Structure 1
């Protein structure tokens, strides 16, 4: 957990650096498009982290297992 939390702390700090000053204001249009493309890639990975964090929780696995058991039982009726 410490490694994961530290990695996320570093990511947040790096993003804060990008938001400081005029870094974004000074971009050319071409650079702005490249930055937006990379932001999209980062955003998709952040969303994937959220999904994986929730999906790997024990309570979610229990719900999925229970749902699968109900489906199997219904197919036997």
Structure 2
């Protein structure tokens, strides 16, 4: 398990993230701001069982994969 920080570097990170790593992001809005689709990023992380840590809150795939299913989420 490795902790990796997201800093608008999804293309670089995507090739380095391994199963059960922790992806540290400042916020979900920051995670969604580059040219990559947030839902695609979440799905990719979920497939690799990557945990996402947002400002000291660690979220498991079974929780964050439910986010895109919510109709009232705003970008």
Q: TM > 0.5 between the two?
A: no
Name which structure has the greater RCO, CA cutoff 8 Å, separation 6+. 2
TM-score by length of 2: 0.26
Q: Which has the larger radius of gyration?
A: 1
Instruction: Identify the structure with the greater helix proportion.
Output: 1
TM-score using structure 1 length: 0.26
